[in-house]
Amino acid sequence: SNGKMSSNVPADMINLRLILVSGKTKEFLFSPNDSASDIAKHVYDNWPMDWEEEQVSSPNILRLIYQGRFLHGNVTLGALKLPFGKTTVMHLVARETLPEPNSQGQRNREKTGESNCCVIL
């Protein structure tokens, strides 16, 4: 305990308050360049003592939920436009697979195709 208050978040960092399904919470500091999978790995490597009952076997099944949406592993905190120097609440759940339709990749490809047609020269 270095006397720092948890409300004292560095201006270039993002404080995540992670909430488990059980209701337990823990705060971790991350940089805007950290991705959802970086966060899962960090939390897994620094698993809090009082989360022992919720311990998971692998960081790969940890999922972050932000504003009701599952975050994909490669999305960064910066890309989510999270406020620096503040605390953002996310939920942390253990899921083997993400709930997504099989057409996801297909839809993404179509989306990029759409945006190409809208370039104004």
Give yes or no for residue 114 having a pLDDT over 90.
no
* Lowest mean pLDDT across 56-70, 73-87, 102-116: 102-116
Q: How far is CA 79 from each of CA 2, 15, 25, 32, rounded to the nearest angstrom?
A: 31, 15, 24, 8
Note the Cα 13 to chain centre separation in Å: 14
The three-class DSSP label of residue 59 is: helix
Q: Which domains does the chain have, with CATH numbers?
A: 14-97 (3.10.20.90)
Q: What gap in Å lies between CA 26 and CA 105, rounded to an integer? A: 34
Segment holding 114, helix H or strand E: helix 104-117
Whole-prediction pTM: 0.74
Note the Cα 80 to chain centre separation in Å: 9
pLDDT digits (tens, 9 = 90+) for 74-105: 999 999 999 999 999 999 999 877 655 554 45
pLDDT digits (tens, 9 = 90+) for 17-49: 999 999 999 999 999 999 999 999 999 999 999
- Position 11, amino acid: A
